[in-house]
């Protein structure tokens, strides 16, 4: 059994087995890790209580009664089937919360059975320390900006096709950013899981190359971009896509117009304090009558004001923002953005 440091986890080629309880895993885990719990949530609580009240030896004795060795090996075989190697033991990385007894017990069992096992030094706790440190590092971030409906996500996709590094933060957050961004989507991940996935993308990027992101508010649905990373984003060059209002409106109607009408109205109600009572009333009436374009025309004007305020709250706006007037998103526009990028020094 070998132990590896948490700072090597970012480019870890081995399959990862998380032996914490299902509740711990479901709250947040190393992206891509498989759940192989040593204890159920209830069993973990019993062992923890025994440790506090009766000491380490009694807790271990209690835990041995829950150690279903045959079942664990069977489940591990199932999870690791895609990684089986001919004429060589399958390698696997195991971790628990602190790299202690749980991971040691499972590692012993799997090695006894024939796997080649590595244990994560410090466990998931050490991984989380690496996650938080990842947000402190400097990155050559470039921001795709523009009012709502400018096709910023589509531009990120096109940049990626051209070999550029991107991070689609809205995709990681499971939310498109506005009050309407969560309609028709699964629940968002926990804040901790969002941070884990975001940090993994950051650490797997090449620090010597541009890293493209979309201009975001710090809050996306119920999640927050970690403050240190968001501060770096706010101090990064912005490539502002200036599309006509009517073009953006058509884009928004195409994206949101077919969503559940009642959910759209609920979203309008959530922003009524900022939208204003009259605008809330009128946009709600338009939605109720099926006049989707008029409703979103009013709402888009609100979001334009909101975005413009955020844009001007940046320091050195004139130096940071490069504007690209256009009537549609084309290959030529992408080419212009990349050309402008090469002329802007980071930092």
Q: Helix H segments across 144-240?
A: 152-161, 169-173, 191-203, 227-234
Q: Which residue has the tokens 């390698």?
A: 91
Two tokens, residue 5: 């440091």
Under 8 Å CB-to-CB from 62, ≥6 apart: which residues?
46, 47, 50
Identify the active-site residue in 38, 63, 93, 96.
96
Residues 214, 195: Cα–Cα separation, whole Å: 17
Q: CB-hemisphere CA count at 13 Å for 226?
A: 20
Q: CB-hemisphere CA count at 13 Å for 301?
A: 10
Active site annotation includes 96:
yes
The closest of 295, 300, 306, 143 to 215, measured between CA atoms, is 143
Under 8 Å CB-to-CB from 247, ≥6 apart: which residues?
149, 327, 328
For 307, phi and psi rounded to 5 degrees? -70, -40
Residue 307 near residue 299, CB atoms below 8 Å: no
Under 8 Å CB-to-CB from 22, ≥6 apart: which residues?
35, 37, 40, 41
Angle, CA 6 vertex, CA 21 and CA 228 arms, to 5°: 95
Kindly list the catalytic residues: 96
């Amino acid at each position: 059994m070998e132990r590896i440091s948490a700072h090597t986890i970012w480019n870890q080629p081995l399959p990862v087995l998380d032996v914490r309880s299902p509740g711990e895993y479901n709250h947040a885990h190393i992206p891509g890790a498989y759940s192989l719990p040593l204890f159920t949530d209830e069993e973990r609580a019993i062992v923890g209580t025994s440790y506090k009240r009766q000491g380490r030896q009694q807790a271990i004795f209690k835990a041995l009664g829950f150690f279903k060795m045959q079942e664990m090996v069977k489940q591990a075989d199932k999870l690791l089937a895609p990684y089986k190697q001919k004429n060589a033991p399958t390698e696997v990385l195991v971790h628990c919360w602190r790299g202690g007894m749980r991971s040691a017990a499972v590692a012993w069992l799997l090695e006894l059975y024939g796997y080649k096992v590595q244990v994560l030094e410090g466990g998931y706790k050490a991984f989380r320390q690496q996650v938080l440190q990842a947000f402190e590092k400097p990155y050559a971030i470039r921001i795709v900006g523009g009012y709502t409906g400018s096709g910023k996500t589509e531009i990120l996709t096109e940049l990626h096709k051209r070999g550029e590094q991107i991070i689609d933060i809205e995709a990681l957050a499971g939310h498109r950013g506005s009050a309407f961004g969560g309609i028709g989507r699964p629940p968002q991940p926990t804040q901790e899981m969002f941070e884990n996935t975001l940090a993994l993308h950051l650490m797997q990027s090449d620090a010597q190359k541009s890293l493209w992101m979309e201009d975001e508010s710090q809050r996306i649905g119920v999640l927050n971009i970690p403050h240190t990373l968001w501060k770096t984003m706010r101090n990064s060059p912005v490539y502002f896509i200036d599309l006509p209002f009517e073009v953006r409106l058509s884009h928004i109607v195409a994206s949101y117009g077919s969503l559940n009408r009642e959910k759209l109205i609920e979203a309008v109600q959530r922003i009524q304090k900022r939208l204003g009572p009259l605008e809330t009333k009128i946009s709600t009436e338009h939605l109720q009558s099926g006049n989707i374009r008029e409703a979103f025309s009013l709402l888009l004007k609100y979001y334009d004001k909101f975005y413009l305020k955020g844009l001007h709250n940046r320091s050195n706006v004139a130096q940071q923002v490069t504007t690209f007037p256009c009537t549609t998103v084309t290959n030529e526009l992408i080419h212009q953005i990349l050309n402008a990028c090469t002329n802007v020094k980071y930092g």
